[in-house]
Structure 1
Amino acid sequence: MIDVVTDITEDAFLGGQLLLRQKRSGHRAGHDAILLAAATEAREGDRVVDLGAGVGTAGLALARRVAGIDLCLVEIDPELADLARGNAAANAIAADVIVLDVTADAQAFAAHGLMPDSADCVLMNPPFNDALRHRGSPDESRHAAHVATEETLNAWVHAARRLLRSNGVLTLIWRADGVADVLAALSRGFGSVSILPVHGEAGRPAIRVLVRAAKGGRAPTRLLPGLMLNDESRAPKNEVRNILEGRAVLPLAEP
């Protein structure tokens, strides 16, 4: 009997609290999405929009932690959106899944029920690798999920700003060497910015930044102590393991 190799895998996240089906090849969910969810503050009843949701990892991880949010997953790829829809159902999490380009105009968003000034919280993990320095994958979906154009960040932040109500909160993850670009994009309409650097190893520069900003916020920018993913032996630190397994949150998610 010949085994049939499927293009879909089922993977456990949050220490097994969340089971997700995703494509074996192309862009696959990982630590970035779970860290993003752990950095996002939300409360029961909040309207939460996950932009570029992929198979739903970050949004569904947040919904697993915060019951009763009104979750919308926005994804441009119909195949990934279909997987996200199935993942929400399989994990008994209520979520609207919308096939839509994040860079679409307000009319396109409204046609899908995403009205301006309607969201309490937006989270996003945009493509962030620099096309000039990053050799993109030959896999089209993986390339689109990882490599940014010059306008990617501004366009995604603009979409978030349009969706959020006054004082609504945006949480995003970006590469650490692009933090100046993040601050520039957020300077148009956002304030009360908090930045959490993420380091892969002790003694090495940060590899990611997690950023929280409020629409119309006026508080000074805060640079928080960095998160170290691995210890000196390159093993995940206990605090990071607790976050990845859903037993703890990051400071950005704390009220």
Structure 2
Amino acid sequence: MSDAADLTEDAFLGGQLRLRQPTRGHRAGHDAILLAAATAARPGDRVVDLGAGVGAAGLALARRVGGLALTLVERAPDLAGLARDNAHANDLQADVAVLDVAADAAAFAAAGLGPDSVDVVLMNPPFHDAARHRASPDQARATAHMATGTTLETWTHAARRMLKSGGALTLIWRADGLSEVLAALARGFGSLVLQPVHGQAGKPAIRILVRAVKGGRAPTQILASVVLNEATGVPNEDARRVLEGKGELALSWPWPAP
């Protein structure tokens, strides 16, 4: 566990969620909150946050939707410990599994995450392209941010194995890597719904939020974009409400039968 001096306590969802996280390495931010706001879930659903870090996305979802059976999967023991502490400090129920996303089916089953057992998976995998981004000298930060050629396939494979037929995966990725997302989801997923995220109005999208249904066959849909800031730099009011936990994204609306 990290020393208390190496941690900060940060407010998310307008103060509805407070998370302790390391001062160095990967730190939770807008991506995790947007992912949570884009994830469709119902009370009683079994939900897994893959690569949960300190639990930001999964716990933000649990704050919005009560009664989830939530599991936070994180391979780093210190971050997993913080995720467990954060769930307790926010009075949210969550199991924590110290497990690498790349682990085999037997390891997932031993953690209680067997095949065809989960309703919803959400994930924010490392997505920076190593060919275009210099890796951070901080190893934890580099691991959390830099994708390899097999990152998406590995993560979507783990999600596909756990999900029940008709269950949904929601993920966030860099917008210029959309073709990689579509290729990774081509096997076993369908009924895709996409929602671009723009950092500023009038500028290209910086992120893409995607929901995919295991075994889905409905046509792909592209929803209206999320715009974080107006062209003047002023925060967009709708996006501000989502980030403060006062709203949700259209991607989170219940999906039709696949």
TM-score (norm 2): 0.96
Instruction: Map 1:215-254 to 2 at 5 A.
Output: 215-254=214-253
Deviation at 1:236, TM superposition (A): 1.3
Task: Tell me what 1:152 maps to.
Answer: 151
Query: Structure 1 residues 167 and 139 mapped into 2: Cα distance closer, same or farther (>3 Å)?
Result: same
Runs of 4+ in structure 1 off by over 3 angstroms are none
Question: Whole-Å Cα distance in 2 between the matches of residues 249 and 202 of structure 1?
Answer: 19
Distance (Å, rounded) in 1 between the aligned partners of 2:234 and 2:16 = 22
CA contact (8 A) 2:129 2:147 kept: yes
Distance in 1, matches of 2:65 and 2:130, equals 36
Aligned to 2:84: 85
Give the alignment of 1:75-224 within 5 angstroms: 75-224=74-223
Identify the residue that residue 48 of structure 1 maps to in structure 2.
Answer: 47
Cα distance in 1, alignment partners of residues 109 and 253 from structure 2: 31
One-letter identity of the residue aligned with 1:209: I
- Shift, 1:233, TM fit: 1.8
Counterparts of 1:203 and 1:54, CA distance in 2: 32
User: C-alpha displacement at 1:234, in angstroms?
Assistant: 1.0
Give how far 1:63 is off.
Answer: 0.2
| 2:23 alignment partner in structure 1 | 24
What is the alpha-carbon distance in structure 1 between the residues aligned to residue 247 and residue 41 of structure 2? 14
How big is each residue's C-alpha offset from its partner over 1:112-170, in whole Å with a ceiling of 9 and x where there is no partner? 11110000000000000001111011101100000000000000000000000000000
* 2:136 counterpart SS class: coil
Q: Secondary structure at the match of 1:73?
A: strand
Q: Partner letter of residue 238 of structure 1?
A: E
Deviations 1:37-65 (A, max 9, x none): 00001000000000000000000000000
The alignment of Structure 1 onto Structure 2 pairs a total of residues equal to 252
Contact 2:202 2:231 (8 Å CA) reproduced: no
Which whole-Å CA distance do the structure 1 matches of 2:30 and 2:210 have between them?
A: 16
Letter in 1 for 2:112: G
CA distance in 2, matches of 1:202, 1:71: 35
Gapped regions of structure 2 (runs ≥ 5): none
User: Structure 2 CA distance, aligned partners of 1:235 and 1:93?
Assistant: 33
Residues 11-45 of structure 1, C-alpha deviation per residue, up to 9 Å, x if partnerless? Answer: 00000000000001110000000000000010000
Structure 1 gap ranges (5+): none
Question: After superposition, what is the alpha-carbon deviation per residue over 1:171-192, rounded to whole angstroms, capped at 9, x for unaligned?
Answer: 0000001001101111100000
